[in-house]
A and B are shown apart, each in its own frame.
Chain A
Amino acid sequence: MFKKLIVIFVALSLVLTGCWDRQELNDQAIILGWGMDLLEDGQYLATANLVLPLASKTGGQQGGEQGGRSGFMTETAYGKNNRDAEQNMQRKLSRVLFPGHRRNIFIGEKLAEHGVFSILDEYGRSPMVRPRANIFVVRKATAQEAMSLAYQLETNPAIAVQKIQEKSGAPISRSLLDFFISANGTGCGIMPALTILPPEVKIDKKSKNDSPPQTTLGIYGAAVFNGQLKLAGYLKYDEYWVRLWIANKLVFRTFTTIINAVDADKPGGAVEDALSGATSGKTVTVSVDSFKSDITPIFSGALPRFRILLEGKGYIEENNSPLNLSKPANVKKVEARMNQYLEEKIRRVVTKVQKDFKCDIFGFGDTIHHRHPYRWKKLAADWETIFPDIDLDITVKLNLTGTGLTGESLLPTREGGEE
């Protein structure tokens, strides 16, 4: 009898180890996005994008007419930090806030300038937050403004920005993790930056069914954080990829450059000729979908140098220049021109980062750390002052494997082309 009791108690202790946190789906408010803003008085303003399950239920009875109700709601609360704001928010919500699906975290520009150190701790600590979440800085606006916009393609702006980021060639859903990694590595951080974009041309809505372009969310580029995790500046959309390529995270991207119209197809024309005196309007676009980056630190003297080899494979997607691409030599010309163009571009961006932001967002320090750990120990403390002055030897090697579907253009006559 006694033995049986012991068995039962052991079995119960195994079973009753505290997993009783059953929470019905109907009792949870699923957070899809979370935004933090800093107010003048030092308080934080938290914004949550919550799923409205009732709205997305397009039942047979209700029909499509009432589909105008958006699938999300935005709730806000003040607080001293994340959890405090969450608790304050709870008082307005009939369901328990559930951050397990919080894929996107928005940070207002004010807060970013003030420094994100104070709010990021919870994201690493709470078991509910996924490390593979996206974190964004909202440029020239508050997180709340960005999150209140109804994004038309998706039910929810929080989902939209995450998808936009994926579609712009960045790795999928990991900017929070990346931020943590780089903040712990070279001390600097980088996260995608969003901006609120009014329509390029404003058109009035004349009838009920018109759908003029509206103010929407877009990727601005990247926000660079310095060693104190304060906002140092932005990289534009057209500069952001440089960092991704060097950090070996770029997935795809198309590059467009101008190619000289005049000597392009002359029989004896050298590569250099094709590139000199280029005029606008004659463009070539190359679509690259396989990127590689190789950073080699070289030590000679006190400061390290870096040899950066950037490789890519792609094909020509659009050609408005008079180059006849059915000739391999001309493809070589495009290749050379592209390499030159990209090198210039990359060098400009890298210099901007070195001189303006003084933040090693490319992870050069990390490569030293990996390959020369003992030297890194000496360098690590002063890396912030060393980084702006190090020499970078950038080589771009683009390999064009194709010219699209056709060699020559399908259009018969071409202005300025070969007769």
Chain B
Amino acid sequence: MEQQTTNKQLEPEMLYPDLAYNIERMQLEFLNCSDIMYRNCSIGGLNRATLIYVDGMCDVQAVDEFVLQPLIEHFRRSSMVDEGRAAELKEIFIPTLKIRIVFQTKEVIQAVLRGETAIFTEGNAFVMLADLIKMEKRAIEEATSEKVVRGPRDAFMETLRTNTSLLRRRLRSSKLKLESMTLGSLTETDIVIGYMEGIVKESLVKEVRARLQKIQIDGIIHSSNIEEFIEDNVFSPFPQIQNTERPDVAVSSLLEGKVIIITDNTPFVLILPMTYWSGLQAVDDYSDRFMYATFVRWIRYTFVHISLLLPSLYVALTTYHLQVIPTSLVVSIASAREGVPLPAVIEALIMEFIFEGLREAGIRLPQQVGPAVSIAGALVIGQAVVAAGIISTPMVIIVSLTGVASFAFPLYNLGTAYRMLRFPLLVIAGVLGFYGIVLFLIALSVHMVTLKPFGVPYMAPYAPMSTGNLNDVLVRAPKPRMRKLLPWLTNGKSERFPKRTK
């Protein structure tokens, strides 16, 4: 025993041929972990083996069938002290696809926690790990945050492998590379970097890999945890990494030369780099007929501006630039505002504030009380406040229109950016009028043009202008016309398909 102790001190990571000792160490490591199971089985009378697994994470039936039974039957009469039989053990007697041999305690612990079954055998200084993981998972469901009328209904889910399989199903090409890595010192979350070899710029992949490797964190819980670590400009209201729930969006991004990051336990896949316009392109744009898609896209662009500008424009117009409004409209606004005690800015701020609060409350609500709050909210905003003479009717119209407009964004976090920017803009409009709005917009455009997530201009292909790529920005051209790829993203290959010759 003494020798063993010294050995333990010398090489704490290594396993020993002594089964009892190994098991003891494991038990020490997993002290108070009630979900770790130990199964002893006697082999050939003397020799023994112990299986360690996490309850609920392994396929018990498979372990029974492919590990336990062969072990017991084939080694009923033989001894396993012989080192040379290790290969035999692995290759022949345990008939399962995913089995490997490790020699270090740390690896065993990690593997067990991942759900693999560790097979400790007497007299062998190694452990066999059978990957018979079977975790509870939900079925593939429809995407909740990106609904479509026409298009595939499947969405990413929490399991990493399912997600990669969803991609592979759509992209049967060996060019689709899925590099895996682990992040988080405690969570050990699996992460996969996906990209299309031959389309993507190698430097981009290298950059993404490097940035991911730099992350020193104890835990990655969502993909959004990664997002802020690798973003270029965290202090920007605009998202620079797109996220999607939809495999088809991920695939089309891959084909554009973008890189995706799949995180285990998150149904949201990150797509990077993101451009502003890709945040405004909805999935339906590509399944609808192109004319309608263009039309809807323009409505969306209009609503983007409404959601940002409408309240501040209203405030600026009614308090500074009354001349601009048509006379009859001024008269009706004036009569509606008659008796309202608050200045228009404060009025707008209050209403916007209430609206955002209602929205937030609506999300957090338990489903049973949802209607109650929305009815109360609608009554309070729409009717009672006006009747009480606290808020004017036009303001209610403005705020509700703005609220509706802020939901027209295909990408949720781009919408939140604008929703938030509305407030400073409102204050500036209240202080400086049009002048302030214009100042703010100039500053905003300067900021947006300066953004360069992963070296790709955020406003590309509009600024800097890349004329060949405009047919998917302001309009959605028919698919045969959308040939070009963004030059910032791609590596030499700048076209989706060769030009048709008649």
Contacts and interface: CB of A to CB of B under 8 A. Distances in A.
A322 B336 CA distance: 58
Given A15-B432, A15-B439, A25-B344, A51 B323 contact: no
B230 to A, nearest CB: 30
A101 B334 CA distance: 13
Given A15-B436, A19-B433, A53-B334, A26 B323 contact: no
Contacts of A211: none
A208 B430 CA distance: 49
B473 interface: no
Contacts of B340: 26
B337 interface: yes
B439 A14 contact: yes
Interface stretch (B23-31, B250-258, B324-332): B324-332
Interface in A297-322: none
B338 interface: yes
A411 to B, nearest CB: 43
Interface centre among A14, A53, A100 (most CB of B within 10 A): A53
B354 interface: no
A25 B336 CA distance: 10
A130 B320 contact: no
Contacts of A101: 322-323, 327, 330
Contact of A24 (B336, B339, B344, B436): B344
Nearest to A159: B327
Given A101-B323, A128-B323, A56 B439 contact: no
A57 B338 contact: yes
B194 to A, nearest CB: 43
Contact of A25 (B333, B431, B433, B439): B333
A351 to B, nearest CB: 40
B435 interface: yes
Given A19-B436, A56-B335, A30 B330 contact: yes
A23 interface: yes
A26 B436 CA distance: 22
B343 interface: yes
Contacts of B339: 26
Contacts of A51: 330-331, 334
Contacts of A14: 439
B265 interface: no
B266 interface: no
A23 B332 CA distance: 17
B318 interface: yes
Contact of B431 (A20, A26, A30, A71): A20
Interface string B302-325: 000000000000000011101100
Contact of A21 (B320, B332, B336, B344): B320
B443 to A, nearest CB: 10
Nearest to A100: B323
A54 interface: yes
A346 B34 CA distance: 109
Contacts of A20: 431-432
B320 A56 contact: no
A103 B331 CA distance: 13
A172 to B, nearest CB: 13
A54 B344 CA distance: 18
Contacts of A155: 331
A176 interface: no
Interface in A88-131: 98, 100-101, 103, 128, 130
A368 interface: no
Interface in B32-50: none
A56 B337 contact: no
B231 to A, nearest CB: 25
B318 A25 contact: yes
A85 interface: no
Contacts of B431: 20, 22
A32 interface: yes
Contacts of B337: 24-26, 53
Nearest to A56: B335
Interface in A313-333: none
Contacts of A21: 320
Interface in A127-165: 128, 130, 155, 159
Given A15-B439, A19-B432, A103-B327, A57 B319 contact: no
A28 interface: yes
A23 B320 contact: yes
Contacts of A19: 320, 432-433, 435-436
A360 B392 CA distance: 52
Interface string B419-434: 0000000000011110
Nearest to B318: A25
Interface in A1-54: 14-15, 17, 19-26, 28, 30, 32, 51, 53-54
A13 to B, nearest CB: 12
Contacts of A30: 322, 330-331, 334
A22 B430 contact: yes
Contacts of A56: 331-332, 335
A24 B316 CA distance: 10
A175 to B, nearest CB: 16
Contacts of A54: 335, 338
A24 B334 contact: no
A53 B338 contact: yes
A53 B327 contact: no
Contacts of B331: 30, 51, 53, 56, 71, 155
A294 to B, nearest CB: 35
Residue picked from A20, A57, A159, most chain B C-beta under 10 Å: A57
Interface of B: 318-320, 322-323, 327, 330-340, 343-344, 430-433, 435-436, 439
Given A22-B320, A100-B323, 4 more contacts: A22-B343, A28-B322, A100-B322, A101-B322
11 contacts: A15-B432, A19-B432, A19-B435, A23-B320, A24-B344, A25-B318, A28-B322, A53-B338, A100-B322, A100-B323, A101-B322
Q: Sorted from nearest, which 4 A-B pairs have the closest CB atoms? A: A100-B323, A57-B335, A53-B335, A53-B334
